[in-house]
């Protein structure tokens, strides 16, 4: 199935000036679900295998009404896990876990979104304002901010992430260059991903070949001019809800 383009995407905030009226909201780290052509699909136009069982009927109806929503139960893993299981706990994603993201309100130009995410509406927000507001959002446990203008969205995060495909893998070695029997890292077209938790190194070593071709999210500090990763790159998670590589491309220090 082809990747959908009928939803609003956010650009990375990199310190640029943002003019006009801006809706400032919290960024939650959930799974975006669209209601399109009578189906509940992710941005890559796939129906999560556990969606029907995991999501309550009133939650589904809320998505039908608003058509572009984020499902969020408190963390990405807690939300995406049941959606990717074939036999999840029935009804573990409810009405209050559905956050409408972009819907029309006749007579107004600005976009509308779940009131629980609203922070402020400001004109011509300064970089200092964005920096302070981001720090407050992180203190409250949110992933970052979303800045919504009439024509564009910006995501503001404290670090830089990329979604890249796994092209290979390698085993970790000890100081004497002896194999340790656990994952050393993944290869990508942009360099190696080598930072993992101890638990992930062990768990991912079970048939690591199965991960080749899957999209993963990584955290990085900088890119070389060639587009390759500079410094250590940290594995964050698999992105089963997307199928397109992407980068936060320009550094901004919050």
Question: Which pLDDT value is given to residue 105?
Answer: 54
Please state, rounded to an integer, the average pLDDT across all residues of the chain: 91
Tell me the mean pLDDT in the region 54-72: 96
Lowest-confidence pick of 154-163, 194-203, 211-220 = 154-163
CATH superfamily to which 161-247 belongs: Nucleic acid-binding proteins (2.40.50.140)
Residue 253: which pLDDT band, with cuts at 50, 70 and 90? low
Does residue 15 have a pLDDT over 80? yes
pLDDT digits (tens, 9 = 90+) for 219-240: 997 777 788 998 889 999 999 9
Question: Which pLDDT value is given to residue 146?
Answer: 95
Nearest-angstrom CA–CA distance, 176 and 67: 56
Residue 106: which pLDDT band, with cuts at 50, 70 and 90? very low
Please give the model's pTM, rounded to 2 decimal places: 0.75
Q: Bigger pLDDT: 240 or 3? A: 240
Does residue 247 have a pLDDT over 60? yes
Q: Are 205 and 182 in contact (CB under 8 A)?
A: yes
Tell me the mean pLDDT in the region 59-80: 94
Does residue 70 have a pLDDT over 70? yes
Tell me the mean pLDDT in the region 90-119: 83
Does residue 23 have a pLDDT over 70? yes
The boundaries of every CATH 2.40.50.140 domain in the chain are 161-247
């Amino acid at each position: 199935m082809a990747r959908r383009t009928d939803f609003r995407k956010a650009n990375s905030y990199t310190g640029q000036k943002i003019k006009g009226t801006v809706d400032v909201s919290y960024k939650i780290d959930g799974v975006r679900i669209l209601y399109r052509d009578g189906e509940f699909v992710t941005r890559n136009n796939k129906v999560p295998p556990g969606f029907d069982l995991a999501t309550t009927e009133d939650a589904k109806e809320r998505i039908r009404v608003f058509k572009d929503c984020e499902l969020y139960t408190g963390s990405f893993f807690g939300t995406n896990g049941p959606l990717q299981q074939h036999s999840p706990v029935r009804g573990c994603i409810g009405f209050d876990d559905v956050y409408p993201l972009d819907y029309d309100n006749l007579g107004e130009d600005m976009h509308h979104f779940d009131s629980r995410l609203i922070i402020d509406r400001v004109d011509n927000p300064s970089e200092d304002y964005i920096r302070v507001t981001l720090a407050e959002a992180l203190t409250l446990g949110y992933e970052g901010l979303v800045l919504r203008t009439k024509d564009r969205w910006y995501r503001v995060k404290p670090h830089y992430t990329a979604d890249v495909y796994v092209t290979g893998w390698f085993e970790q070695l000890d100081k004497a260059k002896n194999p340790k029997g656990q994952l050393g890292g993944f290869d990508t077209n942009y360099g190696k991903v080598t930072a993992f938790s101890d638990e992930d190194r062990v768990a991912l070593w079970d048939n690591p070949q199965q991960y080749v071709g899957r999209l993963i999210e990584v955290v990085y500090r900088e890119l070389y001019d060639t587009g390759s990763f500079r410094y250590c790159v940290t594995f964050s998670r698999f992105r089963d809800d997307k199928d397109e590589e992407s980068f936060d491309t320009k550094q901004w220090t919050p």
